[in-house]
Chain A
């Protein structure tokens, strides 16, 4: 349950970007949430909704896109999308896999009213 502290970090960036752009309101926030980011989207939503009160984001909509786990085999160069976390290449059985996507927790876009 570290979603509230993630939301606090998110708001640091949001408010700084809003100020940079001289925005009066933040109306939309889009995140990319990796499947292996360790974050529960429902908890993030609840934390966001409680944190946004009395800020310029009080009416903001939070959109989260789940990013699946994407790997590349360092041996046979195959790119793999996986539902589980078994890090074995399905084409050549090598275990030397690079994680390309699925760990991230990104602030992708912000919709502002200027």
Chain B
């Protein structure tokens, strides 16, 4: 019986990255900006999405994919706003993978400009899975505490944008906005930071503008490529 050592040097999640790259290419070519929202459970992803939908929907075509372990609840909340939404229930898995998003691509209506993907609530596992997004947003709600970025470095280091949510609670909490921002910037100096309150509606317009501008840049970049 012969022994043989083979050198592979392959990324274990390479197949996920490959599917993600295909999704990005396909959707970019169709003019769809994809945003992946990551956060711990209860930080306000769905509520933020509801406000974003209200802000963007009058002038833009949107679609939403909701990831949860169980229930259709989040997709129903978005559908009530008149936006097509699909629920992926992972049945226990702690993150979404690119192939789950890939299966839904045929359903995305032509003319969609923004696809928001709400990941399963978890600050650890989703960080390792590219879903084909153009922008990865990590949410940090003020009740979670301003010390979270360095406790969950991968989520913050791999994000393009940090959205601080529930900012209306700052007067009642020992949450230091500047400290949380600086912690996150230490990990990722290129991070864009938005401070929002879905309850009061503050910061939502700036965030919507960031997505609109990012889509314009994406389209221009492809035109010049």
| A5 and B53 alpha carbons, distance in the complex (Å) | 32
Q: Is the CB of B189 within 8 A of A107?
A: no
Q: Is the CB of B4 within 8 A of A111?
A: yes
- By beta carbon, the residue of chain B nearest A97 is B189
Using a Cβ–Cβ cut-off of 8 Å, how many residues does chain A contribute to the interface with B? 38
| A104 and B12 alpha carbons, distance in the complex (Å) | 9
B3, B95, B124, B129: the one contacting A111 at CB < 8 Å is: B3
Q: Is the CB of A112 within 8 A of B10?
A: no
Q: Which chain A residues border B186 with CB–CB below 8 Å?
A: 85-88
Q: Which chain B residues border A112 with CB–CB below 8 Å?
A: 3-6
Q: Is the CB of B8 within 8 A of A108?
A: yes
Q: Which chain B residues border A114 with CB–CB below 8 Å?
A: 1-4
| A23 and B1 alpha carbons, distance in the complex (Å) | 10
| A36 and B8 alpha carbons, distance in the complex (Å) | 21
| A41 and B32 alpha carbons, distance in the complex (Å) | 37
Q: Is the CB of A109 within 8 A of B150?
A: no
Q: Is the CB of A106 within 8 A of B11?
A: yes
| A27 and B6 alpha carbons, distance in the complex (Å) | 12
| A113 and B10 alpha carbons, distance in the complex (Å) | 20
Q: Which chain A residues border B11 with CB–CB below 8 Å?
A: 104-107
Q: Is the CB of A2 within 8 A of B125?
A: yes
Instruction: For chain A, residues 75 to 114, give those with C-beta under 8 angstroms from any C-beta of chain B.
Output: 84-88, 95-97, 104-114
Q: Which chain A residues border B154 with CB–CB below 8 Å?
A: 36-38
- By beta carbon, the residue of chain A nearest B8 is A107
Tell me, yes or no, whether B89 is within 8 Å of chain A by CB.
no
| A39 and B13 alpha carbons, distance in the complex (Å) | 12
- Other than the given A2-B93, A107-B8, A114-B1, 20 more pairs (CB < 8 A) read A2-B124, A2-B125, A6-B13, A9-B16, A13-B10, A13-B12, A23-B4, A24-B1, A38-B128, A38-B154, A85-B157, A96-B189, A106-B10, A106-B12, A107-B10, A107-B12, A109-B8, A110-B6, A112-B3, A113-B3
Interface residues of A (CB under 8 A from B): 1-2, 5-6, 9-10, 12-13, 17, 21, 23-24, 27-28, 31, 36-39, 84-88, 95-97, 104-114
A-B contact pairs, 5 of them (CB 8 A): A1-B125, A2-B93, A36-B153, A85-B157, A109-B8
Query: Top 5 nearest A-B pairs by Cβ distance?
Result: A95-B189, A2-B125, A85-B153, A38-B154, A114-B2
